[in-house]
Chains A and B, each alone.
Chain A
Amino acid sequence: MPRTISVNSRLDGNPRYSDADMEPLLQALSKLRDGDFRPNSLKGQGAIATALLLVDQIRERASHHHQEAIRVRKEVSREGRLDERMNAGPGAGSWAATIDASNGLMDALTGPTVAMAQVVDAVASGDLSHKVELRADGRALRGDMLRMARSVNTMVDQLDTFTSQVTQVAREVGTEGRLGGQAPLRGMSGRWRDVTSAVNTMAGRLTAQVRDIAVVTTAVAKGDLTRKVTVEAAGELQELKHTVNTMVDQLSAFADEVTRVAREVGTEGNLGGQANVRGVSGVWKDLTDNVNNMATNLTYQVRNIAQVATAVARGDLSRKITVDARGEILELKDTLNTMVDQLSAFADEVTRVAREVGTEGNLGGQANVRGVSGVWKDLTDNVNNMATNLTYQVRNIAQVTKAVAHGDLSKKITVNAQGEILELKDTVNTMVDQLSAFADEVTRVAREVGTEGNLGGQANVRGVSGVWKDLTDNVNNMATNLTYQVRNIAQVATAVAEGDLSKKIDVDARGEILELKNTLNTMVDQLSAFADEVTRVAREVGTEGNLGGQANVRGVSGVWKDLTDNVNGMATNLTYQVRNIAQVTTAVAHGDLTLKIDVDARGEILALKTTINTMVDTLSSFASEVTRVAREVGSEGRLGGQAKVEGVSGTWKGLTESVNELASNLTTQVRAIAEVASGVASGDLTRKIDVEARGEVAELKDNVNLMVANLRETTRANEEQDWLKTNLARIGRLMQGQRDLTQVSQLIMNELTQTVGAQHGALYLSNGEELVLTAGYGLARDSVGRVRFALGEGLVGQAAMERRTLHVREVPRGYLKIRSGLGAAAPASVIVMPIVFEEQVLGAIELAAFDGFNPVHLAFFDQFTETMAVTINAIIATTRTASLLEESQRLTHELQERSDELQRQQGELRRSNTELEEKAALLAKQNRAIEIQNFQIEQARRALEERAEQLAVSSRYKSEFLANMSHELRTPLNSLLVLAKLLSENTEGNLTAKQVEFARTIHDSGTDLLQLINDILDLEKVEAGKMDIHPQPLELAKLVDYMDATFRPMAADKDLEFDARVEPGTPATLFTDEQRVEQVLRNLLSNAVKFTSEGKTELVIGPATPEEVAASRLQDAEPLVAFRVFDTGIGISPDKLQLIFEAFQQADGTTSRRYGGTGLGLSISRNIAQLLNGEIQAESEVGKGSVFSLLLPVDYQGAPSDLPAPAVPQQPSRSVEDLALLPTEEDEPAEHLDLVLSGKKVLVVDDDVRNVFALTSVLEGYGMDVLYAEDGQAGIDLLQRNPDAAIVLMDVMMPGLDGYATTEAIRNMPQFSELPIIMITAKVMQGDREASLAAGASDYVAKPVDIDNLLSVMRTWLQNPEVG
């Protein structure tokens, strides 16, 4: 504690102190001077005391300074704490400044030291990058400090240089093996230089030795065993040197030997040589042995192989290598054997193809060698190629030659060929060209000669030789020959044309020309014949006038036939015309002037025709004039008329005058005759012509006279004829309209008899057999109808039979008497006439007369009998028609009656029909009513079904809802429970007991909640009928054991007795669902334990009788077993006993508070019991306990029928379309050995991971290595990381970069320009393929992917990337 004393206050100016007094002060000062800073106890008085005090203060301050210095020194020197500083002392002013200065000094000293120490530290730890800062506290270091710092820095630099040099050398020599490296000595000094030199020396020596050894080992490695290590070495290197040299020696020996053997075996082929290396042991011996062994084996194997190879070389492919070999030799053997097999197959196949193509000419054959690869495949391919090429070339050539053969010279061989085929092709093409030129030339000649008629043309084909030249010459020859022949023919033809038919073609010709020649000669012959014939006809017709002659030229045809026909036609025409003219002239000659020549004629004949016709006209006019005169004179009586014919002369004039003279002569004579004629005309037939006449007129006169006489006779005949006609008409008229035969007969009798003046008459009519007297005239009264004559009987019968009139003229007396009241006389004549109509005798008429019958009467009879026959026949026919009509009318009437009857019956039918229809309508109505009822019933049924379905659906919804709900509830519970459990475990021990307790509570509550949810689910399942029963044999003993094990501890926890037993007489096993039974029993027992606080609980299993059970279905389901659970718990009042089986019910609402539980257990148990065809019974007494009994049939027989049938179990629906890729989805992917696919890397780019997974499964089954990317960009990245991917399967539809874009991007990378990329897409649109290929894809496979198709596509691309 510094004490501050005011010195001045006590000073007075008077020296009052003795030396003695000063002694303590001096002592104190001397001690102070001597550096004794211990406190002293000197005392003084007054100012001395004050002085002492001051001295003590000085000492104190000095002491402090001293102690601080010592302390700091100790701290710095001993402890090394350079940051220790002196504490400020009690003094101020210079004291304090001294302390500060000391501290400043220390700072100045320690600062750079610490910095240097840091640098040195860094150096020590190998970091040579640090340097001492040459500035401290912003000031540059100076003096020693600067030097020291620089020294340190220099040292660090040198160290750095040194270490880096040495490191470099060491690294070069040691690590990188670059021997010979030397650390440069520049800038080094002292020890550094020594060390560096040593390192360099070491490096140099090592380098030399190592290089030497390396040279030797390199030589050894290169097989030069002559070198030895010669470098000077010591120690271990010396040993190494010796060892290496020894090794080189042994190796040399060994190598010599092995070389020898190898040379013998390998080069010289002396198999069987053995290496003999002496003085070797260990590995070398083994090695030698191995070599020998190898040589032996090799020898054996090689010989075997050689045999086979020799056999193969000789073409014997039947040999195989049989030697036992391993490793590569085995491979070689197998390879050779395979090679032989393949060669064999190949040879067979090639032979086959060669035979087919070469020998048999079956082009198109292909060699099919299986399982070959490499050169053989190439060879096969080449052969096939060759065959294909040859086929193609040969076919092409064949095509061209065929075309040439067919005359088509426009084709050329276009096939690409080489070598001989090329020559062949060129030759054929040249041939075609030449042929073409030749053909052109020949065509030209042919055209000139043939078409244009320029004979003498010559084909001029240049540059041809051999056959072609011959051919051209031939053509020219032919042309010449033809020309000669044609000219000869032309001569003959010209001669023929000029009418000289005597010439013949005599040129020597062949073939067609010969035919032509013959034809022409024949033609000339025929022409000749024709000319002869025509000449003949012309002579006959023309000269001899034998019209009708016809030319008859045989064996002609065509024009000649036409010509002949024409000549004949001409002859015919001429004949016709001449005959016509002859006819007319004959007619004129015969006085018929009406005829004219009407034949169609021309030329001279026409002139002749006209002349004759004119002649006829003139004649005609003359004749008409003469006729007129004759008519006027002859017919009109105008006598004195003269004919006046003009324009006539000669004979015609003379003739006219003659006529006129004749006319005047005639006039005189005719007038005389006229007088007589007038007399005749006025009825005077008595006169006669008396005029003198001559010749014809005299004849006329006689004739007129005769005519007058004839006139008289004719007039009388006319009168008779008139009578006959009149009577015929009269009687005919009378007979008209008559229908009765008798009347007609009578009428005929009356009229006829009177008309002919007969006195008796009888008319008989035929009845088919006889002639019956039907009417009479003047007959006895009763004779009518009685008198009958058969045909041929009497005169009447005879006349009828002969159909001839019999006329008896001289009737003998007594034959017949015609009577009257005045007398009787016999008639003079009797006539019998038959009445005949169309050769049928209808009857006969007999007449008798006194006077007889004159010819007029007889003619009358003839005509009248005809008329009468017609009339009688008409009457008979009419009578027959009438009777037929009557019959017809009768039949019609009957028909009418029948029809009426039918109509009546029809009416009845119609009536009954109507009745039936009414009944049917009634039935239909009833039917419709029934249908409507059915429909209503159907509707009701459907409504019911719908309701039922709705119910089922809503029930299912409810169940599903509950199931889902409980799942949804359970899921969050799950993590809650797990995490709570984890927390309650408190594994990390950082939770308090309370927190653990909370966690446990959370867990327990959660567990309870879960239990509740499970119960609800269970109940729901049972109610929805979803709980399945799986019955199986259940051993009761086991069940009891299980229950005992489960509940005994629980009961023990509550200090309850527990017992579980099986009563005797119970079956040992049940057939039921064990799990369900256990569930019910667990529920009952846990209830029993839960609701019992003291006493015991017990499970007794025993037989039960049907009387015990309530449900009827159990009463006949013997045998039964009863599981009874007894307890001594709280019991249930009887009114609650049924209630507890309802869901969520307990005996008392408060029960659950006390005992927990959901109240679902019994409800579930009862439902399960029903499912098991059993029931649960309960008996209880409040406060005493309860008995719950589960009664079950021993043998579960299936679901009870009165329970709702279990709903159809719902299949979890799953979308099927996703699985389109895997048609056989349950099959495991087979392991396939596929040479093409196996080991290849495939990149699958597809966003549908399931597809990819399935695809991957398959592809991996084929040994492929699958890389997967889920979008385009990832695919590209993955591909860049795996450039060895062999193929890419690319989905088109992907998010982000789609398949097309990705493919394009991949194609833009040069290293993947050839990578096969196969597009896979669900799209089946047109143009997808094109789009894929346009994007750069190699191929395209449509979804759903047919895996076989995909694999084959992949194989194609992996096998043969250049396809397509």
Chain B
Amino acid sequence: MEDKVKILLVDDREENLIALEAILSSLDQELVRARSGEDALKALLTDEYAVILLDVVMPGMDGFETARDIKRRKKTRDIPIIFLTAINSDPDYAFRGYAAGAVDFISKPFDPWVLRAKVSVFVDLYNKNRQLERQAVLLKEQAELLKEQAELLRRRGLLDEEKA
């Protein structure tokens, strides 16, 4: 019933991207690769994504910077970002990750099942959100309609009273 949603995978290492694709392919969603923070931004300029898996340590623009840029843009601000990092033992990293607006911070090596579950939650959320948006639009339209009719009724009532 829903179209496939897009999931952005950002990592500078080919093998990690392969691993991520292997883990997430069973979700049957469109997986988009980005090999750098810049690539990720580029992808975000053209398409809409349900969730972003973002590697922290990358040459050039690292994950925090990328996240900060993403969070700064209104259109992309609400896309959930899951940080992936090999450096798990530094609590500072997790802090920075969350400070940068991550919804989750997963240390490598991660449990494929856990990651898959988390991503699928965000995909569901995204779909729900979209549904909600559509319903909101519908509701708004209906509310408008109702309001108009209520107004008409009120007018008629007034007229009737006047007549009476």
A978 near B89: Cβ-Cβ < 8 Å: no
Q: How far is the CA of A297 from the CA of B32 in the complex (A)?
A: 58
On whether A293 and B22 interact (CB within 8 A), knowing A1014-B89, A1250-B61, the answer reads: no
Find the residue from A977, A978, A979 having the highest chain B CB count within 10 A.
A978
A 972-1002 binary contact with B (CB < 8 Å = 1; else 0):
1111111101100101000000000000000
A1253 close to B41 (CB less than 8 A):
yes
- Chain B, residue nearest A289 (CB): B156
A259 vs B44: C-alpha distance when bound (angstroms):
57
Question: Is A1291 on the interface with B (CB-CB < 8 A)?
Answer: no
| Whole-angstrom CA separation of A1010 from B151 in the bound complex | 70
| The stretch of B65-73, B121-129, B134-142 that contacts the partner chain | B65-73
CA distance A1261 to B22 in the complex (A): 38
Contact size range, B = 35 or more
Proximity bits, B86-122, A CB within 8 Å = 1, else 0: 1111011000000000000000111111000000000
Known contacts A977-B109, A1006-B109; is-contact A1253 B73 (Cβ 8 Å)? yes
Instruction: Give A293's nearest chain B residue, CB to CB.
Output: B155
Question: Across the two chains, which residue of chain A brings its CB closest to B155?
Answer: A293
Q: Mark B4-43, 1 if CB is under 8 A from A, else 0.
A: 0000000001011011001100100000000000110110
Q: Is A64 an interface position by the 8 A CB rule?
A: no
Establish whether residues B23 and A978, one from each chain, have CB atoms under 8 Å apart when the complex forms: yes
A1254-B45 Cα distance, complex, nearest whole Å = 11
Q: Are the C-beta atoms of A974 and B155 separated by less than 8 Å?
A: no
Residue of B13, B23, B39, B61 near A982 (CB, 8 A) is B23
A1010: chain B residues within 8 A (beta carbon): 109
Among B41, B72, B73, B87, which residue has its beta carbon within 8 angstroms of that of A967?
A: B87
Complex Cα–Cα for A1253 and B151 (A): 46
Known: A297-B155, A985-B112, A1256-B45. A967 touches B38 (CB 8 A): no
The answer to whether B19 and A974 touch across the interface, beta carbons within 8 angstroms, is: yes
B15 to chain A, nearest CB (A): 4
Q: In the complex, A976→B22 CA distance in Å?
A: 12
A885 close to chain B: CB less than 8 A: no
Q: Which residues of B contact A1261 (CB under 8 A)?
A: 74
Counting chain A CB atoms within 10 Å of each CB, the highest count among B46, B62, B89, B152 belongs to B89
Which of A975, A982, A1249 interacts with B42 by CB under 8 Å?
A1249
Which of A977, A1212, A1257 is the one whose CB lies under 8 Å from B72? A1257
B164 contacts A by Cβ under 8 Å: no
Say if the beta carbon of B130 comes within 8 Å of chain A.
Answer: no
Q: Beyond A326-B151, A985-B112, A1257-B72, is A970–B22 a contact (Cβ under 8 Å)?
A: no
Question: Residue B159 at the A interface, CB < 8 A?
Answer: yes
In contact, B69 and A1253 (Cβ under 8 angstroms): yes
The answer to whether A974 touches B109 (Cβ under 8 A) is yes
Q: How many A-B residue pairs have CB under 8 A?
A: 115
Q: Which residues of A contact B91 (CB under 8 A)?
A: 1028, 1030, 1075
Is A433 on the interface with B (CB-CB < 8 A)? no
- Say whether A1257 contacts B73, CB under 8 Å: yes
By a CB distance below 8 angstroms, the chain A residues around B22 are 978-979, 982
- Does A960 sit at the interface, judged by CB under 8 A? no
A-facing residues in B129-164 (Cβ within 8 Å): 151-152, 155-156, 159
Q: How far is the CA of A1075 from the CA of B44 in the complex (A)?
A: 38
Asked if residues A1256 and B73 are in contact (CB atoms below 8 Å), the reply is yes
Q: How far is A1006 from B110 in the complex, measured between Cα atoms in Å?
A: 12
Q: How far is the CA of A987 from the CA of B27 in the complex (A)?
A: 13
- Given A982-B23, A1018-B89, A1256-B45: A1229 in contact with B72 (beta carbons within 8 A): yes
Interface centre among B19, B22, B44 (most CB of A within 10 A): B19
Minimum CB–CB distance from A1221 to chain B (whole Å) comes to: 11
Nearest Cβ on chain B to A979's Cβ, whole angstroms:
5
From the candidates A971, A987, A1257, name the one contacting B86 in the complex (CB within 8 A): A971
Once the chains are docked, how many angstroms separate the CA of A1229 from the CA of B39?
22
B-contact 0/1 string along A292-335, CB 8 Å cutoff: 11001100000000000000000000000000001000000000
Q: Which of A1014, A1030, A1212, A1260 contacts B74 (CB 8 A)?
A: A1260
Query: A713 near B: Cβ within 8 Å?
Result: no
Return chain A residues, CB-CB under 8 Å to B152: 290, 293
The CA of A1030 and the CA of B95, in the complex, are separated in Å by 13
- Per the bound structure, the CA–CA distance linking A1268 and B76 in Å amounts to 15
Using Cβ atoms and an 8 Å threshold, which residues of chain A touch B86? 967, 970-971, 974
User: Known contacts being A289-B156, A982-B22, A1228-B72, is A974 close to B42, with CB within 8 Å?
Assistant: no
B69 touches A1254 (CB 8 A): yes
Given contacts A978-B22, A1018-B89, A1229-B72, is CB(A1270)–CB(B109) below 8 Å? no
Distance between Cα atoms of A974 and B39 in the complex (Å): 22
CB of A773 closer than 8 Å to a CB of B:
no
- In the bound complex, residues from chain A placing their C-beta under 8 Å from that of B88 are 1014
Residue pair B159, A292 in contact (C-beta under 8 Å): yes
Question: How far apart sit A807 and B57, CA to CA, in the bound complex (Å)?
Answer: 148
Which chain A residues lie closer than 8 Å to B61 at the CB level?
A: 1250
Smallest Cβ-Cβ distance to A296: which chain B residue? B159
Docked CA distance A610–B72 (Å): 126
CB distance from A100 to the nearest CB of B (A): 61
* Assembled-state Cα–Cα distance A973/B19 (Å): 11
Residues of B within 8 A of A1028 (CB): 91-92
Question: At the interface, yes or no: A1214 with Cβ under 8 Å from chain B?
Answer: yes
From the candidates B69, B87, B111, name the one contacting A1250 in the complex (CB within 8 A): B69
What's the Cα separation between A957 and B51 when bound, in Å? 37
Minimal beta-carbon separation of A883 from chain B (angstroms): 111
Bitwise, A1225-1245 to B at CB < 8 A (1) or not (0) is 100110100000000000000
CB distance from A1277 to the nearest CB of B (A): 13
Contacts of A1006 in B (CB 8 A): 109
Q: Mark A269-294, 1 if CB is under 8 A from B, else 0.
A: 00000000000000000000110110
Q: Considering the chains assembled together, what is the distance between the CA atoms of A1266 and B73 in angstroms? A: 12
- Contact B38–A974 (Cβ < 8 Å): no
Q: Please state if B72 and A1214 are interface contacts (CB–CB under 8 Å).
A: no
Q: Which residues of A contact B44 (CB under 8 A)?
A: 1253
A974, A977, A1212, A1225, most chain B CB atoms within 10 A: A974
Residues from chain B with a CB closer than 8 A to the CB of A72 are: none
Nearest CB in chain A: distance from B151 CB, A: 7
B111→A981 contact, CB < 8 A: yes
Determine the chain A residues whose CB is within 8 A of the CB of B26 once the complex forms. Answer: 987
| 9 A-B pairs closest in CB distance | A977-B109, A1257-B73, A974-B108, A975-B15, A970-B86, A975-B19, A1268-B45, A978-B19, A1253-B41
List 18 A–B pairs whose Cβ atoms lie within 8 Å, in order of A's numbering. A290-B156, A970-B108, A971-B13, A971-B16, A974-B19, A977-B109, A978-B22, A979-B19, A981-B111, A982-B22, A987-B26, A1014-B88, A1228-B72, A1249-B38, A1249-B41, A1250-B69, A1268-B45, A1268-B46
Chain A residues near B (Cβ < 8 Å): 289-290, 292-293, 296-297, 326, 967, 970-979, 981-982, 985, 987, 1006-1007, 1010, 1014, 1017-1018, 1021, 1028, 1030, 1075, 1212, 1214, 1222, 1225, 1228-1229, 1231, 1249-1250, 1252-1254, 1256-1257, 1260-1261, 1266, 1268, 1270
Q: Given contact pairs A967-B86, A987-B26, enumerate 11 new A-B contacts (beta carbons under 8 Å).
A: A292-B159, A293-B156, A296-B159, A967-B57, A976-B109, A982-B22, A1225-B72, A1229-B73, A1249-B41, A1250-B61, A1260-B74
